């Protein structure tokens, strides 16, 4: 039996839960999933093509820089300027983005609506742009901040954007019902953010979770990045394999890992 090969490219990725999550999704052993650790997107694509992979997930820092190597991309990838999945069809590489779907599903799961509400987004990379895409398409009023504000686009999804610094973000924070963070914030950076109990905080990272402590201390609703991870993986894995993954097993694995890693 020929085993179809899939994988994850990025740098560094030795900590990634994706291989375990994929194994939980498809325990039958019909597929393999490997890490493609590479220092550049050029090297990652070379290893992908030379390794006989059918598809790869893409994570930081290659979500944007890998796009010039693909032959086709979805409309969402073009708008977001980032992808998190590449599938090889013959000699053609096709880029997809399921991060924006993950944000939408995570907020829906948390019963958090954003239409006509103020939301604050931290970061300007591929994950942040996917979140901005989802928020703006859903009708949110978006405030967008980053360490380097010039990395934030002035216009996104047809909406004018006023780039903010992290220190400026705190001025807008009280009005916001949702805060999405995609940055690996340091402790001093988190301390300038003053949350309140009416807010929902979503960290994109499931391993660092930089805003968890402050969110819980403030009595805010906190959502860890494991929900984002799960909800981008489900459609991503299905696009790769053309088979529905075992979502219940994926969920059980994630909850066990998060409980034993972050339980007080």
Q: What is the average pLDDT score of the chain?
A: 95
CA 202, CA 104: separation in Å to the nearest integer?
12
Whether 60 and 134 map to the same domain: the answer is: no
Whether 108 and 196 map to the same domain: the answer is: yes
- Any catalytic annotation for residue 63? yes
Whether 80 and 133 map to the same domain: the answer is: no
pLDDT, one tens digit per residue, over 146-169 is 999 999 999 999 999 999 999 999
Catalytic residue among 63, 88, 115, 221: 63
C-alpha to C-alpha distances, 19 to 24, 25, 37, 125, nearest whole angstrom: 9, 10, 13, 23
pLDDT, one tens digit per residue, over 77-105 is 999 999 999 999 999 999 999 999 999 99
pLDDT, one tens digit per residue, over 163-197 is 999 999 999 999 999 999 999 888 778 887 899 99
Q: Which residues pair with 181 in a beta bridge?
A: 122, 203
Point out the least confidently predicted range of 3-12, 148-157, 255-264.
Answer: 255-264
Q: What is the pLDDT of residue 263?
A: 63
Q: What is the pLDDT of residue 264?
A: 59
Q: Is 145 helix (H, G, I), strand (E, B) or coil?
A: strand
**Is it the case that residue 262 has pLDDT exceeding 80?**
no
Whether 67 and 89 map to the same domain: the answer is: yes
Residues 53-70, mean pLDDT to the nearest whole number: 97
In contact, 85 and 55? CB cutoff 8 Å? yes
Q: In the structure, what pLDDT confidence band is assigned to residue 1 with cuts at 50, 70 and 90?
A: low
Sheet hosting strand 178-181, strand order edge to edge: 163-164, 141-145, 118-122, 178-181, 200-203, 221-223
For the chain, how many structural domains are there in total?
2
CATH at residue 42: 3.40.50.10860
Residues 55-74, mean pLDDT to the nearest whole number: 97
pTM of the model: 0.95
Q: Is 89 helix (H, G, I), strand (E, B) or coil?
A: strand
Q: What is the pLDDT of residue 259?
A: 84
Q: What is the pLDDT of residue 189?
A: 82
Q: Write out the residue range of the structural domain in which residue 153 sits.
A: 101-223
CATH at residue 130: 3.40.50.720
Number of Cβ within 10 Å of residue 215's Cβ equals 26
Q: What is the pLDDT of residue 2?
A: 78
């Amino acid at each position: 039996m020929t085993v179809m090969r899939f994988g994850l490219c990025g740098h560094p990725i030795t900590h990634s839960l994706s291989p375990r999550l994929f194994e939980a999704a498809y325990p039958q052993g019909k597929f393999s999933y490997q890490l493609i650790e590479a220092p550049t997107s050029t090297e990652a694509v070379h290893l992908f093509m030379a390794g006989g992979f059918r598809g790869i997930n893409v994570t930081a820092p290659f979500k944007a820089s890998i796009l010039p190597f693909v032959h086709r991309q979805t409309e969402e990838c073009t708008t977001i300027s980032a992808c998190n999945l590449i599938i090889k069809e013959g000699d053609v590489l096709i880029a997809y983005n399921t991060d924006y779907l993950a944000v939408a599903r995570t907020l829906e799961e948390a019963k958090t609506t954003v239409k006509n509400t103020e939301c604050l987004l931290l970061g300007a990379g591929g994950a942040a742009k996917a979140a901005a895409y989802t928020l703006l398409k859903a009708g949110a009023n978006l405030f967008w901040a980053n360490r380097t504000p010039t990395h934030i686009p002035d216009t996104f999804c047809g909406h004018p954007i006023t780039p903010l610094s992290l220190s400026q973000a705190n001025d807008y924070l009280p009005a916001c019902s949702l805060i999405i963070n995609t940055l690996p914030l340091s402790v001093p950076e988190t301390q300038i953010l003053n949350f309140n109990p009416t807010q929902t905080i979503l960290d994109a990272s499931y391993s660092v979770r930089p805003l968890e402590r402050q969110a819980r201390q403030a009595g805010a609703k906190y959502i860890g990045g494991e929900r984002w991870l799960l909800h981008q993986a489900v459609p991503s894995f299905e696009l790769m394999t053309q088979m529905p993954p075992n979502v219940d097993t994926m969920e059980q694995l994630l909850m066990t890992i998060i409980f034993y890693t972050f339980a007080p």
